[in-house]
Amino acid sequence: MKELEQLLQTKSEIPLARKTLLNIFYTSMLFKDVLSNTLKPFDISVEQFNVLRILRGQHPNALNLQDIQERMISKMSNTTRLVDKLILKTYVERFTCEKNRRKVEIFITEEGLKLLSQLDPIINKTEEDLINVLSHNELETINNLINKLRS
């Protein structure tokens, strides 16, 4: 296992607070890259996958763009653009409310549900492979520590 200084190819010592943050960022990006590569054959991004899972969680009900945005892992994602791409791929549908034209509802389609059922075991395996070096207790500890950092 390489230390962060080796990965960043630096000889200078990194202050512990910065090293901790950089380790979290680096690992997060590493995991995202692995998940992106897993999803690539399905022509779907991690962010699009996230939108589909959010919509599946509400199925058969709809969500509006703001509700989807609030539930996104990456708050910087352009939710409108993501939904537009998923519409083109026939994984979601968008309907404008006839009574209130500003209200737009987004539903996951049967095609979107089929894709997720196909992806679920693949993503589950990828996630397990990424964290299988840690015990159950270590995973609980990491989650508790990360929750503490976020609070």
Q: From the first residue on, what is the mean pLDDT of each consecutive set of 10 residues in the chain (151 residues)?
A: 75 89 93 97 96 95 90 83 96 85 88 98 97 97 95 93
| Biggest distance spanned by C-alpha atoms of the chain | 64
Predicted local distance difference test score (pLDDT) of residue 137:
98
Q: Can you list the domains of the chain with their CATH numbers?
A: 42-128 (1.10.10.10)
The two structure tokens encoding residue 151: 């609070």
Phi, psi for residue 43 in degrees, rounded to 5: 55, 50
DSSP string, 9-56: T--SPPPHHHHHHHHHHHHHHHHHHHHHHHHGGGT--HHHHHHHHHHH
Can you give the pTM of this predicted structure?
A: 0.88
Helix (H, G, I), strand (E, B) or coil at 151: coil
Of 117, 139, 115, nearest in space to 127 by CA: 139
pLDDT of residue 144: 97
DSSP output for 75-121:
TTS-HHHHHHHHHHTTSEEEEE-SS-TT-EEEEE-HHHHHHHHHHHH
**pLDDT score, position 1:** 60
